[in-house]
């Protein structure tokens, strides 16, 4: 069985490769752009059959250069929500995805692709429905446009797909193998390094009607993201567009407290009892909300998992306290290889 993973050296892509390896699957073609050479670390401990540069892959795949491919996990994209070059974003996230979709349908290859909760943007509801889709940046729009293309070609539920097509609207994913993402890495990753350096973590202050650190997101641990992707891989008859989050909104304060308590536990200290104690002890610092994000920031997200559950996926998601704890342990064990 041959599998393709695009964005294979990236955060979610490398975790999917790891998940496939855990099942004994190593006939994997890893596709990425290693101009940023340090990303090789995400592949170094994994088993793949071949590596193909992203610049070469899409045309070769369309020509059938890789033989029969069972499925493509399409994680490759520009995921920088602050990227303002719309042409670059649309070429990477929309045009290439369209080419890949048609090639997969022509060759009978299943396509499991990454969409994003950024498609919801300024909405207060998070259902996989056009009336909830209000992207706030060109990244969110690039992801939405491909989702819309799939709806036009395959019908609202992708029921007209010749072979499986499943899109996943990722919410705030955090976990191992995101170190290369720089400023786009999760708040948990940055707070780990802040605590190591300064003995405290930082959060945005009041904004959008929320108090300091009170903005709420649906934080989802990357192992859960992989589990859902693999559930659909195991169920090739299931197509459609699905939210992939934990189904619960939690405040950034919850993440900060989980980081502080985990780091204190790992160092043998007595953990802060609660948020008030952590703030009182100076373990959490609130900073002014950055002007560059005003009007472009989602203050609240919570995945509606109704469609996922109706499809039959009953996966149980980690909450922030348990997921962040596992992540801090992994970062501590990884040491200097996962620097900020």
pLDDT for residue 88 is more than 90: no
Give residue 185's pLDDT.
Answer: 95
Q: State both tokens at 87.
A: 């042409």
Give residue 147's pLDDT.
Answer: 98
DSSP 254-289: HHHHHHHHHHHHHTTPPPPSSHHHHHHTT-EEEEPP
Span 136-140, average pLDDT: 91
Q: Cα–Cα distance between 186 and 91 in angstroms, integer? A: 25
Span 227-232, average pLDDT: 98
pLDDT tens sequence across 18-76: 999 999 999 999 999 999 899 999 999 999 999 999 999 999 999 999 999 999 999 99
Active-site positions? 139, 181
pLDDT for residue 328 is more than 60: yes
DSSP 87-152: HHHHIIIIIHHHHHHHHHHHHT-EEEEEEEGGGTBT-S--SSSGGG-B-SSHHHHHHHHHHHHHHH
Give residue 297's pLDDT.
Answer: 86
Give the predicted TM-score (pTM) of the model: 0.95
Q: State both tokens at 11.
A: 């955060």
Span 306-321, average pLDDT: 98
Q: State both tokens at 288.
A: 């002014």
Give residue 177's pLDDT.
Answer: 97
Give residue 233's pLDDT.
Answer: 98
Confidence of residue 161 (pLDDT cuts 50, 70, 90): very high
pLDDT for residue 339 is more than 70: no
Span 143-170, average pLDDT: 97
Q: Cα–Cα distance between 178 and 54 in angstroms, integer? A: 19
Span 317-337, average pLDDT: 91
Q: State both tokens at 328.
A: 């801090």
Confidence of residue 338 (pLDDT cuts 50, 70, 90): low
CA 199 to chain centre: 28
Give residue 336's pLDDT.
Answer: 45
CB burial string 170-205: b at 16+ within 10 A, e below: bbbbbbbbbbbeeeebbbbbbbbbbbeeeebbbbbe
First to last CA, the chain: 37
- Single out the residue of 87, 83, 139, 88 nearest to residue 114, CA to CA: 139
pLDDT for residue 268 is more than 50: yes
Q: Cα–Cα distance between 214 and 175 in angstroms, integer? A: 21
pLDDT for residue 340 is more than 80: no
Give residue 304's pLDDT.
Answer: 98
Give residue 79's pLDDT.
Answer: 76
pLDDT for residue 337 is more than 70: no
């Amino acid at each position: 069985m041959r599998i393709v993973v695009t964005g294979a050296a990236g955060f979610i892509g490398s975790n999917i490769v790891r998940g496939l390896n855990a099942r004994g699957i190593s006939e994997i073609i890893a596709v990425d752009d290693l101009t940023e050479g340090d990303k090789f670390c995400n592949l170094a401990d994994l088993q793949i059959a071949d590596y193909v540069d992203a610049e070469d892959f899409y045309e070769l795949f369309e020509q059938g250069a890789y033989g029969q491919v069972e499925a493509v996990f399409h994680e490759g994209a520009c995921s920088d929500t602050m990227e303002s070059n719309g042409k670059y974003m649309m070429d990477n996230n929309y045009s290439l995805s369209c080419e890949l979709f048609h090639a997969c349908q022509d060759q009978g290859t299943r396509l499991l692709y990454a969409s994003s909760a950024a498609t919801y943007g300024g909405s207060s509801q998070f259902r996989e429905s056009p009336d909830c889709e209000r992207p706030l940046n060109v990244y969110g729009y690039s992801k939405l446009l491909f989702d819309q293309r799939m709806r036009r070609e395959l019908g609202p539920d992708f029921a007209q797909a010749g072979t499986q097509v499943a899109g996943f609207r990722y919410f705030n994913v955090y976990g191992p193998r995101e170190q290369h993402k720089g400023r786009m890495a999760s708040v948990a990753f940055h707070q780990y390094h802040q605590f190591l350096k300064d003995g405290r973590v930082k959060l945005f202050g009041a904004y959008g009607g929320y108090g300091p650190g009170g903005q709420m997101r649906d934080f989802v641990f990357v192992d859960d993201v992989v589990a859902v992707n693999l559930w659909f891989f195991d169920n090739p008859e299931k197509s459609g567009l699905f939210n992939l989050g934990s189904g619960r909104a939690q405040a950034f304060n919850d993440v900060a407290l989980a980081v502080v308590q985990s780091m204190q536990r790992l160092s043998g200290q007595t953990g802060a009892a609660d948020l008030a104690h952590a703030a009182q002890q100076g373990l959490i610092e609130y900073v002014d909300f950055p002007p560059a994000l005003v009007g472009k920031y989602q203050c609240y997200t919570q995945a509606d998992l109704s469609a996922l559950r109706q499809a039959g996926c009953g996966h149980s998601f980690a909450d922030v306290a348990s997921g962040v704890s596992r992540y801090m342990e992994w970062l501590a064990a990884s040491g200097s290889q996962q620097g900020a």
